Amino acid sequence: MLGPGDDAAVIGVPDGRVVVSTDLLLEGRHFRRDWSSGHDVGRKAAAQNLADVAAMGAVPTALVVGLGIPADLPLTWLDALADGFAEECAIVGASVAGGDITRCDLVVIGVTALGDLGGRAPVKRSGARPGQVVAVAGRLGYSAAGWALLEAGVPLGSSALQEAVAGHRRPCPPYAMGPVAAELGASAMLDVSDGLLQDLGHIAAASGVRVELDPQAFAVAEPVAAAAKELGTDPLEWVLTGGEDHALAAVFPADVRLPPSWQVVGRVVEGEGVLVYGREIGRTGWDHFG
């Protein structure tokens, strides 16, 4: 309704409630300029906040961005960053509504996303109940596989390996599945930012339940499988513990009829924690397993 250039932006929120999520991304910690282009970083920074909004069952409407940039940052990098933000927003029909820019020794990106619930109740982390099913939508393991390939410095000799690396540079969250899950009666939902086991641990803790996963239920995507083969490791580790793909994980009533984008991977029972292969995986993740 009113965008950049004034003290503040004005965003329409017909619902009367606004969903808001904020993140800080730091060069060196969350991205590397030698591994990711400005365009990649813009898309990734936008994606992780838009996914947080979608994970509440809301439709993202706007981003505001605070930028810290070094004096010697090429203007082309900054342009590409802005393009990345705008393109990721366009996927969901949102826009960049405003921002702030300041000098800093490293690139710092503060992103805040807003969204509209369209009359739905927000889907929190605390609503999972025993007897319900756990399902995921979107990619799992791509970002971890791509990161491992970049770290190993191996040649990306196949399109599958290239796709894994692209998935690290830029997640593809299934935004539309957030509101869809809410409409289907999801009782708990989040986006997978730290790794599926760890994030489902948040649902288990907030809901006072145990989540049991069926490792056979996970379809390992070809890029993740190819990367694991290249590096001689177990792809399921990346699927279960890899972060930053921003898939959605949700809990539904057992009788739900899910569209094909959702894959049932487990169930909710009485107890606590997250079990896979019948054993509990701590919040510290895979290291405690095996």
Residue numbers of the site for a copy of itself (CB under 8 A)?
1-2, 5-14, 16-24, 26, 29-30, 52-53, 55-56, 58, 62, 64-68, 97-100, 102-104, 108, 110, 112-115, 117, 122, 124-125, 189-191, 206
CA 265 centroid distance within chain: 18
Please say which residue, 62 or 145, places its beta carbon nearer to a copy of itself. 62
- What is the phi/psi pair of residue 284, to 5°? -80, -10
Is residue 244 a known part of a binding site? yes
Please say which residue, 26 or 91, places its beta carbon nearer to a copy of itself. 26
CB of 4 to a copy of itself, least distance (A): 11
Is residue 21 a known part of a binding site? yes
59-69 and 95-103: which strand pairing? Answer: parallel
215: number of CA atoms within 13 Å, CB side? Answer: 16
* DSSP-derived 3-state class of residue 110: strand
Is residue 125 a known part of a binding site? yes
CB of 162 to a copy of itself, least distance (A): 29
CB of 62 to a copy of itself, least distance (A): 7
Answer for the pair 120, 34: CB distance below 8 angstroms, yes or no: no
Exposure b/e, 106-116, CB count within 10 A at least 16 = b = ebbbbbbbbbb
3-state secondary structure labels for all residues of 235-263: HHHHHHHCCCCCCEEEEECCCCCCCCCEE
Give the span between the Cα atoms of 126 and 277, in whole angstroms: 24
Answer for the pair 162, 233: CB distance below 8 angstroms, yes or no: no
CB of 277 to a copy of itself, least distance (A): 28
CB of 185 to a copy of itself, least distance (A): 18
Is residue 193 a known part of a binding site? yes
Please say which residue, 11 or 135, places its beta carbon nearer to a copy of itself. 11
Is residue 241 a known part of a binding site? no
Is residue 194 a known part of a binding site? yes
The kind and range of the H/E element at 203 are helix 196-207
Residues in the chain: 290
Is residue 35 a known part of a binding site? no
Is residue 100 a known part of a binding site? yes
CB of 23 to a copy of itself, least distance (A): 5
Please say which residue, 30 or 170, places its beta carbon nearer to a copy of itself. 30
CB of 161 to a copy of itself, least distance (A): 29
What are the strands of the beta sheet with 108-116, ordered from one edge?
95-103, 59-69, 108-116
Please say which residue, 38 or 115, places its beta carbon nearer to a copy of itself. 115
Please say which residue, 21 or 187, places its beta carbon nearer to a copy of itself. 21
Please say which residue, 46 or 56, places its beta carbon nearer to a copy of itself. 56
Give the span between the Cα atoms of 137 and 250, in whole angstroms: 8
One-letter amino acid for residue 181 of the chain: A
The token pair that represents 145 in the structure block: 């596989």
* Residues annotated in a binding site: 7, 21-23, 30, 52, 99-100, 125, 191, 193-194, 244, 286
* Residues annotated in a binding site for Mg(2+): 7, 21-23, 52, 100, 191, 194
* Residues annotated in a binding site for substrate: 30, 244, 286
